[in-house]
Chain A
Amino acid sequence: MTTTTATHPMAKYLRPGSEVTTFCPGCGDGVIAHSVLRAIDADGADMDDFVFVCGIGCAGWIPSPYFNADTLHTTHGRTLAFATGVKLAKPQTQVVVISGDGDLTAIGGNHLIHAARRDLDLTVICVNNRIYGMTGGQVAPTTPEGVKTATTPYGAEGRPFDLCRLVEAAGASYVARWTTAQPRFITRSVQRGMAHKGFAFIEVMTQCPVQFGKLSGEGSAVHMHEIMADRSVTLRQAEALDPADLPDKWVVGELVGATNVGKD
């Protein structure tokens, strides 16, 4: 009998000894890790030219420790402020930030708008599972109205942030939104974001079946994927829609700066 061992195509980018992930079964964070590494692979980039900066939360564990590169796993929410220091002190470094919606937009919200305003050359991947995953399913500023979370047992109040519009208004010069149902587009946007000289913000809507799926009734990873694919509309499709239907949709695509990429 012969056995063949398949090597994962991205294995060469993983830190030796950290191949087993701690993500729950069905979590979207693995898809995002893969999509980012594919962007690096497609560019033929050298991992030694990168510094990955991440915060506290499940999403922060995407580069830390799995990516075999310089990695700064910071305090909760301060991720972009640390990244700003790295980038300013060593401008030739490709600084890529990967962190959660809670980390980047709740506790780190002030740093987010200021980093966008400075339009510093960072590539930020905001992993939006619409919940605090790591701490056990508490409400985030991205949680849809009405969802019952561990800390909103009577339903979340207030509208969730539209993060792409928020950072656009603050000054981000490249903004894109995708879901884990469109991994190849995530890869393309990460490539564009890295090529772009300025603040590139890529929001990735992702499934957290264990917390959000359970709490919202969206269910399993597979079902959440179907919902994400269903809910995604392009900018052009969105224009054709009845505005009353828009709140249920996610506008995906390159929302700001699509044409600048590669020309600056």
Chain B
Amino acid sequence: MPATVIPAEQRLLQGNVACAEGALAAGCSFFAGYPITPATEIAEHLARELPPRDGVFIQMEDEIASVAAIIGASWTGAKVMTATSGPGLSLMQENLGYAVGTETPCVIVDVQRGGPSTGIPAVPSQSDMVQVARGSHGDYETVAFAPSSAQEMFDLTVRAFDTAERLRTPVFLLADAAVGHMREIVTMPAQACAGVNRRVASVADNGAARFLDEQVAPMPLFGRGLKAHVTGSCHDEAGMRNVVDAEALDHYVRRLSGKIRRVRDDLVEVASGDTEDAEIILVGWGLVGRAAQAIATRARQQGQRVGWVRPITVWPFADVELVSLCREAKRVLVLENNMGQMLPYVQAAVGRYSEVDGLSPRILGALHRPTDVLEAMAA
């Protein structure tokens, strides 16, 4: 019997609200956060929507505590999220490393604003790209998705939850003030998403690996008689601390990174168009990627052979995909609303095939003006 098709619902939503709705659709039942522009609407929406669904919302004393609280909640089996912007993201780094090291599924939304320091609250920026991957100490791998529309704020939040659950790792949604605050039509599924759920250890798994399995060990959740030992110190498969042997550290680091690297191809998603015969390819991510597409399309209409590439997955980095899409192009122009954070990664990947340079907007924080991009292309 064919499944009954229930019409999806279309709503005009602010990007941040779409993100919060995506979290609910994905089964988020615990949110801890601390107010910060331009991310606050996510917390405010969930403060209203979680309690009637028997979920928990708590405003913590700071962002350090927010990440700590969602990690604690995740170990009881809840799907958890927090949302912040640059200054909060900086405070979160220590416990983000803890989530990586203890393999705790959680979603962190960073609605980027201009920095350094307190910077400027409601002006969009893409300057946290490297921080989400390299901001916490130690060697580790990150997963981050970059939405370019309110629809993607919804869809990629769902994807972030599913990925976090599947890989037992923190997953970032790397938005910015513009995407967070824009209002667009969002198509939402008529039913709650099927959702991915973490594998959970059972008592019968006793003695089996609960950590450091590149295929992702089942999680020994609290409250099930599993006597889980969870530590952010270097540990073995059973979770037992070893702070003496370098071999143990080697194992700990390699397994954690290997877990993400193994599934890198499934994680990396790239949108692109008109690249086949393109002489120039515009590369951009997030909202800038959407602008790159619009500018490339306009240039095409004017007869120029221009293509565009928008990495939807920012981490792991789409190097292989960029090479296959861009290697025939003469020039690759990387558009970013920052001083060039993705640029070195594109250069490293594509630089031996094409000339790669970057273009910041004339005014950092404003979107690139199409005329500036067209001018740079002509240069």
Contact = CB atoms under 8 A, between A and B. Distances in A.
A86 B61 contact: no
A88 B240 CA distance: 26
B69 A84 contact: yes
A75 interface: yes
B223 A75 contact: no
B41 to A, nearest CB: 22
Contacts of A92: 223
Interface string B23-62: 0000001101000000000000000000000001010111
A106 to B, nearest CB: 14
A163 interface: no
Interface stretch (B192-200, B228-236, B299-307): B228-236
A159 interface: no
B64 interface: yes
B241 A65 contact: yes
B295 interface: no
Interface string B57-81: 0101110111011111111111010
Interface in A112-148: 114
A89 B241 contact: no
A70 B72 contact: no
A51 interface: yes
Interface residues of B, number: 40
Given A88-B73, A90-B222, A93-B222, A110 B229 contact: no
Contacts of B70: 85
Contact of B229 (A64, A85, A90, A114): A64
A83 B75 CA distance: 11
Given A64-B231, A89-B30, A81 B241 contact: no
A172 interface: no
Interface string A28-70: 0000000000000000000110010100000000001100111
B294 to A, nearest CB: 42
Contacts of A82: 68-69, 71-72
A220 interface: no
A84 B228 contact: no
Given A65-B241, A75-B98, A88 B69 contact: yes
B240 A83 contact: no
A111 B56 CA distance: 19
B95 A114 contact: no
Contact of A71 (B62, B78, B229): B229
A111 B71 contact: no
B56 A89 contact: yes
Most central of A68, A82, A87, A110 by chain B CB within 10 Å: A82
Contact of B61 (A74, A75, A111): A111
B75 A72 contact: yes
A177 interface: no
Nearest to A88: B56
B241 A15 contact: no
A225 interface: no
A68 B68 contact: no
B369 interface: no
A75 B232 contact: yes
Q: Say whether chain A's binding surface is mostly helix, strand, loop, or mixed.
A: mixed
A93 B223 contact: yes
Contact of A69 (B62, B72, B78, B227): B227
Contacts of A48: 223-225, 227
Given A48-B225, A68-B227, A86-B222, A75 B95 contact: yes
B209 interface: no
A104 to B, nearest CB: 13
A51 B58 CA distance: 20
A85 B98 contact: no
Contacts of B237: none
A73 interface: yes
Contact of A83 (B29, B72, B231, B233): B72
A197 interface: no
Contact of A85 (B73, B232, B233, B240): B73
B223 A81 contact: no
A53 B72 contact: yes
B60 A81 contact: yes
7 contacts: A51-B223, A73-B241, A78-B94, A88-B30, A89-B56, A89-B76, A90-B222
Given A75-B94, A87-B72, 10 more contacts: A65-B229, A73-B231, A75-B68, A75-B98, A84-B72, A85-B32, A90-B77, A92-B223, A110-B62, A114-B65
Q: What are the 7 tightest A-B residue pairs by CB atom distance, in nearest-first order?
A: A85-B72, A85-B69, A81-B68, A89-B73, A81-B65, A73-B231, A90-B76
